[in-house]
């Protein structure tokens, strides 16, 4: 028994050593591959897209373009790992993935556990409602006792807790399910990023009219969303990422990705509606 | 690394949150076991009727529920019923899903209970001139229920554990609460270990209580003989 315990301890210590090795960038280059964690259910950030030309399912969205771009920049192969959003940071910190590109907003609590690149995008946070609800619910006060949905572990979940303490919070991992909850009336409002909201407004247009309601959503948008990497000796990696982000933002590459992703996810809606 | 000190501080620091979850979990388990037993009883009795369409229907129900995962059943009921017009509160839908699931298992347990009643009892009831329904209601069923009671208690424990799948549809039970805590403290393993510990305490205590009940039932058996 003692021997088994000692062995287990030794294994744990070895694991600890592996995760705290030298420079993050050279580690990745030694592996030749980066594993990028994302929650692929967030059009147009990241989503599964059935390419009408090849008939094959692809992982698309501007986050994913960025992931592949980073791979190309660093000369590494990219593997996308689809994961529940709320588990992303843990997956990064246990070394299951090497970086996160998943519309991850820079938040103080997250900064304590991971490091971020410079932001590459900033979405607006809004509350989505059925038109019927939106006519009655216009202020934070109106939301008292109402049920508000948000994705578990997200920036919106935090907004929900801080700004709507008198409302009932409803947290779910999957945005698709939250949309269904909103349409079916299980929640009264849904805190979400504007770009994503627009997708779902279009998806359900034939069933119910969803609108961005008047309830004010206050948040600090200066931080934006960024690439997350494990804490540790990651200065060279972050430098490389930051230089790359600055470049694609300046030369308009990133904006073209956003447009492309929006167009793709719009056709995605067309095909799914058929 | 698993930080047990951290796990303990999460457990004590967020004890209220965990207990909220325990409350919902127990509420679900109690409702389900009571309603599920009733459903199971009806199904088990119907499976013995001479009216064969009913019998076949019940067999299909039991086979289907036992042959599909609980999570899938829950998702179908919780998102399917509202889609066809039954807009019920989320909790109600979840109880319906659990009861439908548990009813099938209870039906099997009760069937075993019914079969365990000696054939002589049926003959005795017949010789007294009882009708088939009287025989079932006054002779067979009471004895079968007594045999099934411990198994129903076991089902209670099973539901405490299995109701954890409801976190996926946003029911504020224990797993949901733990998952929610973990999504903001980023301490998955520690927080879920806490939840596991609480589940274990719940089920362990229940098992012990059931053991007492079973012994009590056996005692009454001896004195009645």
Residues A6-31 have pLDDT tens digits of 666 565 555 554 444 568 899 999 99
pLDDT for residue B93: 94
CB burial of B100-126 (b: ≥16 within 10 Å; e: otherwise) equals bbbbbbbbbbbbebbeebeeeebeebe
pLDDT given at position A9: 59
Who has greater pLDDT, B184 or B41? Answer: B41
- Two tokens, residue B119: 């054939």
Q: Which of B170, B177, B178 to mutate to test the interface with A (most CBs of A within 10 A)?
A: B170
**Closest chain B C-alpha to A249 CA, distance in angstroms:** 31
Residue A32 · residue A40 · CB < 8 Å? no
Domain extent for B38? 4-219
Residues of chain B with Cβ-Cβ distance to A16 below 8 Å are: 1
Instruction: Test B186 with A93 for CB contact under 8 angstroms.
Output: yes
Kindly provide the ipTM of the predicted complex, given to two decimals. 0.70
Same domain membership, residue A31 and residue A118: yes
Q: How much is the average pLDDT of B26-55?
A: 92
Cβ of A86 within 8 Å of Cβ of B183? The answer is yes
- Say how many CB pairs under 8 Å bridge A and B: 46
| Distance between CA atoms of residues B134 and B141, nearest Å | 10
Same domain, A234 and A117: yes
Of A212, A236, A254, which closes a domain?
A212
Chain B nearest-CA residue for A92: B186
Q: For chain A, give percent helix, strand, coil, nearest 5.
A: 45, 20, 30
CA distance B158 to chain A (A): 24
Contact A185 B186 (CB under 8 A): no
- Does residue A17 form part of some domain? no
Domain match, A164 and A139 both: yes
Q: What is the pTM of this model?
A: 0.77
Kindly state whether residue B43 falls inside one of the protein's structural domains: yes
User: Which pLDDT score, from 0 to 100, does residue A120 have?
Assistant: 95
Domain count, chain B: 1
Least confident of A15-24, A153-162, A260-269, B189-198: A15-24
Cα dihedral across residues A214, A219, A225, A229: positive or negative: negative
Q: Are residues A116 and A82 in the same domain?
A: yes
What's the confidence (pLDDT) of residue A17? Answer: 46
Rounded Cα–Cα distance for residues A20 and A232 (Å): 7
| Residue B224, in any domain of the structure | no
Is residue B50 situated within a structural domain? Answer: yes
Residue A139 structural domain = 125-212
A157 and A177, same domain (yes or no):
yes
- Residue B151, pLDDT > 80, answer yes
Residue B177 lies in a domain: yes
In a domain, B96, yes or no: yes
| Same domain for A171 and A115 | no
Q: What is the CATH number of the domain that holds A249?
A: 3.40.190.10
For A234-258, the pLDDT digits (tens) are 999 999 999 999 999 999 999 999 9
Question: Are A105 and A231 part of one and the same domain?
Answer: yes
In a domain, B146, yes or no: yes
Domain count, chain A: 2
Judging contacts by C-beta atoms under 8 Å, the chain B residues touching residue A170 are: 170
In a domain, A7, yes or no: no
Domain boundary among A187, A212, A237: A212
Whether A129 and A178 map to the same domain: the answer is yes
């Amino acid at each position: 028994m003692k021997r088994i315990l000692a062995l287990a301890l030794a294994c744990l210590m070895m694991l600890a050593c592996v995760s705290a090795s030298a420079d993050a960038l050279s580690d990745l280059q030694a592996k030749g591959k980066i594993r990028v964690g994302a929650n692929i259910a967030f059009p147009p950030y990241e989503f599964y897209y059935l390419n009408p030309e090849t008939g094959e399912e692809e992982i698309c969205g501007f986050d994913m373009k960025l992931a592949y771009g980073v791979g190309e920049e660093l000369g590494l192969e990219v593997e996308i790992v689809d994961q529940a959003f709320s588990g992303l940071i843990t997956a990064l910190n246990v070394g299951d993935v090497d970086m996160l590109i998943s519309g991850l907003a820079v938040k103080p609590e997250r900064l304590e556990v991971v490091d971020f690149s410079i932001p590459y995008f900033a979405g607006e946070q809004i509350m989505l409602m059925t038109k019927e609800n939106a006519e009655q619910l216009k202020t934070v006060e109106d939301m008292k006792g109402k049920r508000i949905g948000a994705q578990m572990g997200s920036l919106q979940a935090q907004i929900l807790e801080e700004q709507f303490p008198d409302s009932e919070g409803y947290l779910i991992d999957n945005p698709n399910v939250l949309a269904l909850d909103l349409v079916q009336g299980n929640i009264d409002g849904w805190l979400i990023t504007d770009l994503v909201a627009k997708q779902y407004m279009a998806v359900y247009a034939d069933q119910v009219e969803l609108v961005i309601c008047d309830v004010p959503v206050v948040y600090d948008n200066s931080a934006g969303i960024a690439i997350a990497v494990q804490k540790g000796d990651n200065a060279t990696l972050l430098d490389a990422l930051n230089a790359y982000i600055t470049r694609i933002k300046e030369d308009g590459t990133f904006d073209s990705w956003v447009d492309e992703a929006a167009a793709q996810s719009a056709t995605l809606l067309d095909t799914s509606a058929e | 690394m698993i930080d047990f000190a951290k796990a303990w501080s999460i457990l004590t620091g967020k004890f209220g949150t965990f207990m909220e979850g325990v409350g919902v979990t127990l509420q679900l388990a109690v409702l389900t076991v009571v309603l599920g037993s009733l459903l199971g009883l009806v199904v088990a009795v119907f499976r013995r009727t001479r009216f064969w369409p009913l019998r076949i229907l019940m067999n299909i129900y039991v086979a289907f529920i036992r042959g599909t995962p609980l999570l899938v059943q829950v998702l179908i009921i919780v998102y399917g019923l509202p889609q066809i017009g039954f807009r019920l509160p989320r909790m109600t839908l979840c109880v319906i899903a659990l009861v439908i699931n548990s009813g099938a298992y209870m039906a099997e347990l009760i069937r075993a209970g019914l079969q365990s009643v000696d054939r002589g009892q049926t003959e005795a009831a017949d010789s007294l001139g009882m009708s088939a329904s009287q025989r079932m209601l006054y002779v067979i069923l009471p004895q079968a229920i007594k045999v099934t009671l411990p198994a129903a208690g076991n089902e209670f424990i099973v539901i405490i554990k299995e109701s954890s799948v409801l976190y996926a549809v946003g029911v504020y039970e224990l797993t949901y609460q733990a998952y929610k805590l973990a999504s903001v403290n980023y301490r998955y393993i520690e927080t879920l270990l806490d939840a596991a510990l609480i589940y274990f305490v719940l089920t362990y205590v229940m098992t012990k209580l059931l053991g007492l009940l079973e012994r009590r039932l056996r005692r009454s058996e001896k004195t009645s003989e």
